[in-house]
Amino acid sequence: MPEPESSFLRQFYNCSILRHGKILKEDLWVRNGLIVDPEKIFYDEKIMPDERINCHDALISPGFIDLQINGGFGVDFSNDIDTVEEGVNKVAKKLLTYGVTSFCPTLVTSPPETYRKVLPKIKKRNGGSHGATVLGVHVEGPFISITKKGAHPEEYIRNFENGFRSLTDMYSSLENICYVTLAPEIPNALSVISELCKKDIKISVGHSVANLSDGEEAVKHGATFITHLFNAMLPFHHRDPGLVGLLTSKRIPTEKIIYYGIIADGIHTHPAALRIAHRTHPEGLVLVTDAIAALGLKEGVYRLGQYDIEVRDERAYIAGTETLCGSTAEMSHCVRFFREATGCSIVEALEAATLHPARALEIDSRKGVLNFNAEADFVMLDEALGVLSTWIAGKCVYTKNNNYVIEL
């Protein structure tokens, strides 16, 4: 079939759609890569669709958005310096299989030359048949706590000795960065947070020994996110709950939502902890995979930045240790596990991987939703929330069985 013209109108019918916090038995209409209001089609333009697609009772959800993914399918963004562009392309393409339509390639703590070589090569770009949208790079480190370094090599961890200049000297270019994870208790961190905000770069607190007051000050200066809640931070304590306490802090204005990533892979976060987080602060919960190069592959030895990683029993460890470091889970699995563990609704599970990450990045006017005039990035799901097909700009970029009936 020839490529549709810009005015080509598609109608997706025999489906349910997730819109405005509800699952509605409605058709979905797409034109020019955007979702359109059928009432205007019927009453103003008085035209028929150029193509009708039978969805066979599938549930249509906005495409999944992963704000923290270190690599996958044999690719490690922090280690494959010379081939990182090809690596990003490969991961972007493969992620379509799991319903991911947008993602943030993530770099773990690395030598300065890694940032200087890699960051200019991972450019923001729109998605399509070539792969998911690249929203920008999430740099996780090196300005973190040595005490909570996890899989971040101690010899490359830095502080803000020269304030914001320490950060720009390390990364060289900020152009392709959308998120910076840092430890807010590091001296000069608050002024760095303020400067990053001026450049429209989001700040996440994590890999940190910060107490609640440190976290609240970071939020006051512009931090809006917590990196993989419960992991690589002080454990909850009733006299000082640490960064976990930001979920219920009274020092944060009620109109400001603190978002937090959480790894719902069944390994990093106990189901009871998932339930605590969800019941405490559901509107801020963002599912992330924190996936590494082993995603989509068999158990074995892989790389994560400067470390060899051993994957055994579906767990990723720094080789020769029992230190967990990233996951091998894909996003649709995290959605299903999160729903099962918390008993939340289908809407809540899906919005944790769609609407919430879009809101965290302040792109929810165009992504993470199926509202009129939003980008037509969506995923079709079966009753068990398994991925049937993935669509970007209203075009199919992955299908599991290709059983859609297209009527011209």
The answer to whether 60 and 25 are in contact (CB under 8 A) is no
Q: Is 140 marked as binding a ligand?
A: yes
Q: Which residues, in sequence order, are CB contacts of 148 under 8 Å at separation 6+?
A: 183, 207, 208, 209, 232, 233, 234
Please indicate if the annotation marks 314 as binding a ligand.
Answer: no
CA-to-CA separations, 85 to 18, 22, 24, 90, 138, in angstroms, rounded: 34, 39, 40, 9, 16
Q: Is 232 annotated as a binding residue?
A: yes
d(CA 93, CA 128): 9
290 an active-site residue?
yes
Direct distance between the N- and C-terminal alpha carbons of the chain, in angstroms, rounded to an integer: 11
**How many CB atoms neighbour CB 174 within 10 A?**
18
**Residue whose token pair is 């958005």:** 65
Residues with Cβ < 8 Å from 239, sequence gap 6 or more? none
Is 228 annotated in some ligand binding site?
Answer: yes
Q: Is 151 annotated as a binding residue?
A: yes
Q: Which of 405, 276, 396 is nearest to 343 (CA)?
A: 276
Q: Has 231 been labeled as part of a binding site?
A: yes
Confirm whether residue 324 is marked as ligand binding: yes
Q: Which residues contact 34 (CB under 8 A, 6 or more apart)?
A: 373, 374, 375, 376, 394
Catalytic residue among 76, 214, 265, 290: 290
CB atoms within 10 A of CB 165: 13
Gap between the Cα atoms of 127 and 394, Å rounded: 11
Active-site positions read 290
Residue ranges of the annotated binding site for Zn(2+) are 140, 207, 228
Residue set of the binding site:
140, 151, 207, 228, 231-232, 239, 268, 324-326
Annotated binding residues for substrate: 151, 231-232, 239, 268, 324-326
